[in-house]
Amino acid sequence: MSEAAASPRKRLFIRSWGCQMNVYDSGRMADVLAPLGYGPAEGPDAADMVILNTCHIREKASEKLFSELGRLRALKREKEAAGGRMVLAVAGCVAQAEGAEITARAPWVDIVLGPQTYHRLPEMVARASRAAGAVIDTDFPAEAKFDRLPEASAAPQGVTAFLTVQEGCDKFCSFCVVPYTRGAEYSRPAAPVLAEARRLVAQGAREITLLGQNVNAYHGDAPGGGRTWGLGRLLRALAEIPGLERLRYTTSHPRDVDDELVAAHRDLPQLMPFLHLPVQSGSDRVLAAMNRGHTAADFLSVAERLRAARPDLALSSDFIVGHPGERAADFDATLALVREVGFALAYSFKYSPRPGTPAASAPNQVPEAEKDARLQALQALLRDQQEAFNRSLVGRTIPVLVTGTGRHHGQVAGRSPWLNPVHLSASDALIGEVVPVAVLAAHTNSLSGALAAGTATEPPSQRREEPAPA
Ligand code: SAH
Ligand code: SF4
Ligand code: F3S
């Protein structure tokens, strides 16, 4: 660790919105700024530099940015009046999509940088301290970013860590901004991914979640050359790292679940039996309008293949209600798919038109009231399924990775194989260990349990809802 990193002279505050890739990127931005003497600040008040790492996926996300920028303007003025300074940067997907609007609407912003330029942040900070206007950098190629970010992390991520292996997307779903903000699909070569995973484990990580906007489209250069590796092959290599107890990956696309990946779920005990696999809709008409490239039946068959390989696999998903052209019968097909699959967890959203995407200019927009009603109906069903799944764990002994101290003295918090937060009374000496826990109670979003003797019993298999009426 450099001296500057050991005793920071300047304070950095980063706020992240959006997906886990933004959380990962925020960590890497802190890493590139550490050699410049920046250490973490508790909040914006104490910071010499504030970075807002933004998300553009739905409308409210950019509204939040502008209201936050308003608050920071006042803070920045106060600091300047007192003879100090605060560098204000906007990063992430809103920066990429709306760089010029940001500097026009909020001229007090010093730096606007897109997701592929974080390695150039030190240079931008230097330029911003000389320049009068804002410094904008929203270049694209992802390769340079990964090659040039520092290897060691200034602030280790802890027991559970994220590792970005893939960025960008070439799928162009009708509703989605990601292909425009994150650019073309790019996979990191396997060798630096494996090296980063080993470093994370050396820093205390026991669970690694591989990240990518389309993580299972991964096709990275193989370590010794030759054919590229798919995600299944990469997971196999990662499973050989001693001390790495658990692997996950997110977010996947149903179209890219290949046999090698299914086999990884069958063969690797480290690969957790929980998969986030967004389906968006259960109607083939709407799926076609969304340009998803799969039908409802394709999704069901992917789910079957995965559960055949790993019977205790639980699925999570994303849904959009009220995509342009969605009729009542299409929405019913979504409910039917949910009943048929049975999800342990799911996120559902009202369709939000994003400027520049094909769906935003489609003529047959769904009225807001209709979207609200559909969202409520879908969420009620999904909540019931989530509660039923959590209840199915009560009375079982499951392996829990202890991730940190709990809310109360003598309590620790951990994670089930199915990503449920688990609370139990135990010593914090267990942090970083996988321990058997008897589940005593289930809540909507978490479980509570007690340390059990011996080893965990067989996990439950995912229950299915009663089949949809024909
Ligand atoms: N790559 C992933 C999802 C990325 S965005 C995939 O292919 O599924 C995360 C989620 O946000 C999406 O799954 C979708 O459900 C939701 N989303 C994206 N664009 C949206 C929009 N315009 N309106 C509402 N929800 C949206
Ligand atoms: Fe967006 Fe579709 Fe790409 Fe997912 S697959 S990031 S929803 S365009
Ligand atoms: Fe949001 Fe960009 Fe992630 S739009 S969801 S931060 S890829």
Spatial separation of the C-alpha atoms in residues 412 and 424, rounded to whole Å = 6
Kindly state the percentage of the chain with pLDDT values over 90: 81
Q: Are the beta carbons of 174 and 290 closer than 8 angstroms?
A: yes
Same domain, 134 and 244: no
Residue 9 CB-density burial (10 A; 0-12 exposed, 13-18 middle, 19+ buried): exposed
E strand or H helix at 287: helix 284-289
Same domain, 187 and 157: yes
* Alpha carbon of 348 to ligand 1 centroid (Å): 9
245 annotated ligand binder: no
Spatial separation of the C-alpha atoms in residues 193 and 2, rounded to whole Å = 24
Q: Are the beta carbons of 466 and 386 closer than 8 angstroms?
A: no
Spatial separation of the C-alpha atoms in residues 4 and 9, rounded to whole Å = 7
pLDDT in tens, 35-79: 989 999 999 999 999 999 999 999 877 788 999 999 999 999 999
Confidence (pTM): 0.92
**Final residue before a domain boundary, out of 109, 141, 173:** 141
Spatial separation of the C-alpha atoms in residues 332 and 381, rounded to whole Å = 12
Is residue 28's pLDDT more than 90? yes
Smallest Cα–Cα separation from 66: which of 101, 29, 111? 101
* Alpha carbon of 354 to ligand 2 centroid (Å): 13
User: What ligand has the least distance to the C-alpha of 16?
Assistant: 3
pLDDT in tens, 263-284: 999 999 999 999 999 999 999 9
Domain of 34, CATH number, reads 3.40.50.2300
Beta carbon of 307 within 6 Å of any ligand 3 atom: no
pLDDT in tens, 153-169: 767 789 999 999 999 99
Is residue 152's pLDDT more than 70? no
Same domain, 344 and 407: no
Domain of 325, CATH number, reads 3.80.30.20
Spatial separation of the C-alpha atoms in residues 418 and 398, rounded to whole Å = 10
**Final residue before a domain boundary, out of 343, 362, 391:** 391
Same domain, 74 and 102: yes
Domain of 461, CATH number, reads 2.40.50.140
Same domain, 153 and 274: yes
E strand or H helix at 167: strand 166-167
Spatial separation of the C-alpha atoms in residues 426 and 236, rounded to whole Å = 33
The count of domains in the chain is 3
Give the residue numbers spanning the domain of 398. 392-470
For 317, the token pair is: 């998903």
Beta carbon of 208 within 6 Å of any ligand 1 atom: no
Spatial separation of the C-alpha atoms in residues 175 and 187, rounded to whole Å = 23
Following DSSP, what letter does each residue of 97-128 receive, concatenated? HHHHHHHHH-TT--EEE-TT-GGGHHHHHHHH
pLDDT in tens, 355-399: 999 999 999 999 999 999 999 999 999 999 999 999 999 999 999
> Taking the CA atoms of the chain, what radius of gyration do you get in angstroms?
23
Beta carbon of 253 within 6 Å of any ligand 2 atom: yes
Same domain, 198 and 57: no
Question: Taken in order 290, 296, 301, 302, is the CA torsion positive or negative?
Answer: positive
pLDDT in tens, 91-102: 999 999 998 999
In three-state secondary structure terms, 464 is coil
* Alpha carbon of 278 to ligand 2 centroid (Å): 10
Please give the pLDDT value at position 307: 97
Same domain, 428 and 354: no
Smallest Cα–Cα separation from 32: which of 104, 122, 159, 139? 122
Spatial separation of the C-alpha atoms in residues 398 and 234, rounded to whole Å = 27
Spatial separation of the C-alpha atoms in residues 133 and 111, rounded to whole Å = 9
Same domain, 375 and 409: no
Q: Mean pLDDT over all residues of the chain?
A: 91
Spatial separation of the C-alpha atoms in residues 169 and 182, rounded to whole Å = 7
Same domain, 414 and 384: no
**Final residue before a domain boundary, out of 93, 113, 141:** 141
For 446, the token pair is: 């978490």
Smallest Cα–Cα separation from 246: which of 277, 209, 275? 209
Helices 92-105, 20-33: inter-axial angle, 10-degree rounding: 70
Phi/psi of residue 161, each to 5°? -135, 155
Same domain, 136 and 155: no
User: What ligand has the least distance to the C-alpha of 253?
Assistant: 1
Please give the pLDDT value at position 154: 66
Q: Which of 19, 98, 251 to mutate to test the pocket of ligand 3 (most atoms within 8 A of CB)?
A: 19
Q: Are the beta carbons of 203 and 195 closer than 8 angstroms?
A: no
176 annotated ligand binder: yes
Q: How far is CA 272 from CA 267, 315, 345, 399, 461, in A?
A: 11, 11, 15, 11, 13
Spatial separation of the C-alpha atoms in residues 362 and 365, rounded to whole Å = 7
CA 437 to chain centre: 27
Q: Mark 365-397 as b/e (b = at least 16 C-beta within 10 Å).
A: bbeeebbeebbeebeebbeebbeebbebbeebb
Same domain, 166 and 315: yes
* Block residue for tokens 């996300």: 61
Average pLDDT score over residue span 219-240: 95
Q: Which of 186, 253, 291, 352 to mutate to test the pocket of ligand 2 (most atoms within 8 A of CB)?
A: 253
Q: Are the beta carbons of 90 and 65 closer than 8 angstroms?
A: yes
Beta carbon of 213 within 6 Å of any ligand 2 atom: yes
The answer to whether the peptide bond before residue 251 is cis (omega within 30 degrees of 0) is: yes
Average pLDDT score over residue span 448-467: 60
Same domain, 151 and 114: no
